[in-house]
Amino acid sequence: MRLNVAILVWAALASSLMAADPPKTVAELDRDLRASYQKGDMAGFLHDAEELARLRPGEVRNLYNLACAQARNGQTDAALATLRKILSYRVAFDLDADTDFDSIRKTKGYAEITAGMAALRKERVDSGAAVAFTIPEKEIAAEGVAWDPVTRAFFVASVRQGKIFRVSSDGEVSVFVAPGGGLRSPLGIGVDAKRRTLWVANETIPHMNGGKEGDPPDSSLFEYDLDSGKLRKQHAPPPSEKAPHFDDLTVAADGRVYVNDGFNPRIYVLEPGGEMAVWLEGDAIDGGTQGLAASPDGKTLYASDYRGLYRIDVATRKATRLPVPSGDSTAGVDGLVYADGRLVAIQNGVEPNRVSVFELAPDGASIARARILVMNDPHLDEPTLGTVVDGVLYFSANNQGHRYHDVKNPPKPEDLQNAVILKVNVR
């Protein structure tokens, strides 16, 4: 009799568990959070913000939303504690411009936090960073940087002008790929020295090289001969309901080219001699992918999504999030390079912009240590992508593309700077 009762109880419990809604994904919570805020449902906003902060501890964007929600729900002490945690990650926000903090603005704690963030915007870290070379043109919007170990030449992509520059080993600057031929806004670039190929991720960017608001991205991957600059082939992605936005890539040792999708949680691949295909897609990665970096043995692909970093097993295509060491932030990573057991990250989606090094554990599955290499350098004005050569990172320091966002007030050439490529030792 007791056994039958136990069976009935277990059956009822199992039925209840099966009927319960599955836990929400990060992407679903993020959508719900935005919807709650827009409807004025501050209690729902707080609930979703708490869940996001629990699922993704240490992510400053989630912490910022949580602080907003706490302030809007009258939780002054909690909001101030969350803002202090953000500051401990050495990240600043323009809190004064956000009305969500009106209820805590006159507190002593708020004044201390804003003062700390103001000081952070002036704190300089350079680690010996120096100018490697400049390209004496102001309206370039330099993005991708690549290096050919055979000729010892650098290549730099101009988003604004739609061309690729070549900088020889003796510093001579020339146009390697001229505008035209379907190339609109070249962004991430990569060298396959063995196969003598220059790979270029391309899309149509509004206000760049003739692009305008509303234009489809028309993303594609361009394959150029690394010695002559001749276009070999333009590779188009397979048709998709949501058009991809290609702005970065990485070349694996076996010749595979992985390409990101900045607007969707996808990664594409082009096998040698094959056609472009979707390689990874779904909720494993929260948002649009950004930087990509392949390990030398080709077994691991690392990726960023502007919130954090992922490790992807190439054989199984399983993506796992890299845990963040306390006090460090993996937010806002645009450029990502693998070098000697380290991930070198160019973070232009966090304030202040910076370059960081994340030293990986021996198994490559977690971050053992982190440090900021460059922050508040006077040359920095939207740093983007780079490449590591003999332990030294060479990266575009001043893309300045954000200055074109205001369509009605485009920048004047005299207000822009020549393109600067900085170098800094990552070891």
Q: Which of 71, 90, 120 is the last residue of a domain?
A: 120
Residue positions counted in the chain: 427
Nearest to 183 by CA among 200, 198, 167: 200
The CATH number that applies at residue 102 is: 1.25.40.10
Q: What is the pLDDT of residues 273-329, one digit of tens each?
A: 999 999 999 878 888 999 999 999 999 999 999 889 999 999 999 999 998 777 889
Q: Which residues of 370-396 are buried (b: 16+ CB within 10 A; e: fewer)?
A: bebbbbbbebbbbbbbbbbbeebbbbb
Q: What is the pLDDT of residues 225-237, one digit of tens each?
A: 999 999 999 999 9
**Positions of the chain with pLDDT under 70:** 1-21
The whole-number pLDDT of residue 346 equals: 98
- What residue type is 48 in one-letter code? D
Same domain, 92 and 211: no
Longest Cα separation, the chain: 90
Q: Which of 90, 120, 150 is the last residue of a domain?
A: 120
Tell me the C-alpha to C-alpha distance, in Å, between residue 114 and each of 86, 101, 103, 165. 11, 12, 15, 42
The whole-number pLDDT of residue 250 equals: 98
Q: Which of 120, 139, 157 is the last residue of a domain?
A: 120
Same domain, 268 and 352: yes
Dihedral over Cα of 162, 280, 263, 287: its sign: negative
The whole-number pLDDT of residue 20 equals: 54
- What residue type is 71 in one-letter code? A
| Model confidence, pTM | 0.92
Q: What is the pLDDT of residues 404-421, one digit of tens each?
A: 888 788 899 899 999 999
How many whole angstroms separate alpha carbon 95 and alpha carbon 337?
32
The whole-number pLDDT of residue 56 equals: 87
The CATH number that applies at residue 305 is: 2.130.10.10
Same domain, 370 and 336: yes
